Amino acid sequence: PELSRPGGPAGPGGTLTSFRDGIETLIDGLVRELAGAVECDRSLTGLAPVDGAPGSWRVETREHEALVADAVVLAQPAARSAPVLAALDPQLAAPLEQIPSASLAVVALAWDAAAIGGAPQGFGFLAPHGEGLRILGCLWDSSIFPGRAPEGKVLVRAMIGGALDPGAALLPEAELLAQVRGDLRRAMGIAVEPEHAWVFRHPLGISQYTVGHLDRLACLERGLAQWPGLHLTGQSYRGVAMNACIEDAGEIAGRILAQLPA
Ligand SMILES: Cc1cc2nc3c(=O)[nH]c(=O)nc-3n(C[C@H](O)[C@H](O)[C@H](O)COP(=O)(O)OP(=O)(O)OC[C@H]3O[C@@H](n4cnc5c(N)ncnc54)[C@H](O)[C@@H]3O)c2cc1C
pLDDT in tens, 145-200: 989 999 999 999 999 999 999 999 999 999 999 999 999 999 999 999 999 999 99
What is the average per-residue pLDDT within 197-210? 97
| pLDDT > 60? residue 2 | no
pLDDT in tens, 40-65: 888 999 999 998 777 799 999 998 78
- Checking 140-149 for CB contacts under 8 A at 24+ apart, the result is 141/108, 143/8, 143/11, 143/119, 144/6, 144/8, 144/11, 144/16, 145/4, 145/6, 145/16, 145/18, 145/20, 146/4, 146/7, 146/20, 147/4, 147/20, 147/21, 149/110
- Tell how far the Cα of 239 is from the centroid of ligand 1, in angstroms: 12
Same domain, 177 and 123: yes
Please tell me whether residues 71 and 146 are part of one structural domain: no
Nearest CA to ligand 1 atom 41: 44
Ligand 1 atom with the shortest distance to the CA of 61: 42
Tell whether 107 and 144 lie within a shared domain: yes
Mean pLDDT of the chain: 92
Let me know if residue 119 belongs to a domain: yes
Q: Number of folded domains in the chain?
A: 2
Ligand 1 contact, 104 CB (< 6 A): yes
CATH code, domain with 147: 3.90.660.20
Residue range(s) defining the domain that contains residue 91: 41-99+209-259
What integer pLDDT is reported at residue 163 of this predicted model? 95
Q: Is residue 141 part of a domain?
A: yes
Reported residue count of the chain is 262
Same domain assignment for residues 170 and 105: yes
pLDDT, tens digit, 9 for 90 and up, residues 4-47? 555 444 444 446 788 988 999 999 999 999 998 888 888 999 99
Domain check: are 165 and 185 in the same one?
A: yes
